[in-house]
Amino acid sequence: MISKKIGQPQIIVSLDSSYTPVGQCDCDGGDCACDVSPLATLTSDIQFSPGMLENFVRVPNSQIMNLDDTYSVCYGTYHQVTVLNQSARDLLNLFSNPCNLNDIALRKSDFDAKDLQTAIQKLYQAGLIVPQKNCSFNLNETPETLTAWLHITDRCNLRCDYCYLPHLPSDMSIETGKAAIESTFRSASLNHYRRVRLKYAGGEALLCPNVIQELHLYAQSVSEATNILLDGVVLSNGTLIKPEIIEMLQKLNLRLMISLDGLSNFHNMQRAYAGGKNSFADVERGIKIAVENGLIPDISITVTGRNASGLANLIEWLLEDDLPFSLNFYRENELSATYADLQLEESQLITGMLAAFKVIERKLPHRSLLGSLIDRTNLASLHKRTCGVGQSYLVFDDKGQIAKCQMQLHKTVSSVDILDPLKVVRQDKTGIQNLSVEDKEGCRTCEWKYWCTGGCPLATFKATGRYDIQSPNCNIYKALYPEAIRLEGLRLIKYYQATSTN
């Protein structure tokens, strides 16, 4: 546990707060094209030394929440989530006005100079204080990864009530898949991306394991030839998992995302087989096979009006085996609109989510949950756009046509034959418009804007007929964000040692 030496500043910063489960970015419940850009580095390497005369100042818009009698969690637009004891909090407050090390040393004469210097450097490394002469903040909107969704098949053995696909008997050919991979790497090279991420999806992608294998082997060869890094994930409903499937994924260095919406009937009521048979037992078995064979799947949970009350039990079950997960909100589409009970009712959803948070508080995992607790939000990484749609994302249908978002797979704007399909996607002004949060009414002055970014643009348009306005889930987000920050603070206290002046 953390030392509580009285009077000494204790500053605790997560070492892995940027961790984001695959499910947060790759949910087959109908959403994300995530590859959000992290906050541009606000601090440079500064060697603190006695007598250093450079003035530092506390960053603006920093908030503090008490966790207990000893610790508070500090969060804000321009710095990492950080836990401070009272002494560290007092030290931080001294920087409300610009001051240097000498100024602080005079006010804290009872502190050892070396210990004080170490504490101030830790505040700086956490982004809580910055040089006064360089107190400007900009978000980097240039992600390093170009993501491509490969719609391997439209077929699926399940009939999930919220699915947006018609499940036609149509598969992607090897030739089309290779052309899509070449097209993706071509755009990546032309637009100076360092990495390509391929999502093998459907339908149920594991209905075509041989296609996945051949395409990813080809992608690996293209990656090597172009010197562009490669990352890959298979999105699955989990019912077809076998040991040989896991072995294949491991050999290909592919990750696995499995959708699971609850325990027993909370899952079955919205994710059943085509013939109506319950699917939970098979998904549970698939998860266990993956774990037993050394591949830890990321679990994607789609939260609806039906399963919100069952979230707490599901989260407890996942934490028992330390399985990474993400919570994603249901998005209505043309095929799911008739199921009124899927809709998100604010009080019901908030109650269900807070009950799940209580479970997490009792069983805090080692990994950070800042990027996985609340729908499209990543509280560890500031960004201006909710996802990569229209910016750093390509969706290939089984015929090689390119859409901007998989939920609008039928609205194609380019094809594999185009020299730079990403350029065409970026220039397209029809269909989904993924605007900057700074262009959204109701978001511009919100303290959470660079974490929330106004929510999924499709969900917003569906509810309001506009892309330039805040999410219909705005009240839900605002109710949950402080609780998510609080959980991170408690997790840091539990697992992370402070840089203190012991």
**Number of helical H runs and strand E runs in the chain:** 15, 15
Q: Are 467 and 460 in contact (CB under 8 A)?
A: yes
Range of the domain at 156: 145-427
Looking at the fold, whether 375 and 470 belong to one and the same domain comes out as no
For the four alpha carbons of 184, 189, 191 and 194, in that order, the dihedral sign comes to positive
- For residues 462 and 327, state if they share a domain: no
pLDDT reported for residue 489? 95
Residue where one domain finishes, among candidates 427, 462, 496: 427
Claim to verify: residue 195 and residue 333 sit in the same structural domain: yes
Token pair for 49: 């030394």
The reply to whether 139 falls in a domain is no
**Token reading at 183:** 């097209």
Compute the average pLDDT of residues 437-457: 92
Q: What is the rounded average pLDDT of the residues 287-295?
A: 98
Q: Where does the pLDDT of residue 127 fall: very low under 50, low under 70, confident under 90, or very high at 90 and above?
A: confident
The answer to whether residues 363 and 453 belong to one domain is no
pLDDT for 478-498, tens place per residue? 999 999 999 999 999 998 754
Within-domain flag for 74: no
Residue 266 lies in a domain: yes
- Say if residue 201's pLDDT is above 70: yes
Facing residues of 396 across strands? 150, 402
- Regarding whether 460 and 334 lie in a shared domain, the answer is no
Q: Is residue 290 part of a domain?
A: yes
What's the confidence (pLDDT) of residue 159? Answer: 97
**What pLDDT, on a 0 to 100 scale, did the predictor assign at position 422?**
97
Do 415 and 352 reside in the same domain of the chain? yes
Task: Write the pLDDT tens digit of every residue in 129-140.
Answer: 988 876 666 666
| Domain of residue 412, CATH code | 3.20.20.70
Count of domains observed in the chain: 2
Residues 270 and 223 in one domain: yes
Both 351 and 414 in one domain: the answer is: yes
Residue 369 contacts residue 357 (beta carbons within 8 Å): no
What torsion, rounded to 10 degrees, do the Cα atoms 402, 151, 391, 485 define?
160
Query: Above pLDDT 90, what percent of the chain?
Result: 74
Residues 207 and 308 in one domain: yes
Q: Cα dihedral sign for 167, 168, 172, 173?
A: positive
Instruction: Tell whether 453 and 414 lie within a shared domain.
Output: no
Does position 14 have pLDDT exceeding 80, yes or no? no
pLDDT digits (tens, 9 = 90+) for 143-198: 899 999 999 999 999 999 999 999 999 999 999 999 999 999 999 999 999 999 99
Give the pLDDT confidence score for residue 130 in this predicted structure: 87
- pTM higher than the cut 0.75: yes
CA atoms within 13 A on the CB side of 10: 20
**What pLDDT shows up at residue 321?**
94
Answer yes or no: do 448 and 316 share one domain: no
Let me know: does 310 contact 266? Beta carbons within 8 Å: yes
pLDDT at residue number 495? 87
pLDDT digits (tens, 9 = 90+) for 232-253: 999 999 999 999 999 999 999 9
Instruction: Place 13 in a pLDDT band, splitting at 50, 70 and 90.
Output: confident
Burial class (CB in 10 A: 0-12, 13-18, 19+), 47: exposed
Pairing of strands 145-151, 393-396: parallel
Q: Which two tokens stand for residue 319?
A: 């934490």
In a domain, 65, yes or no: no
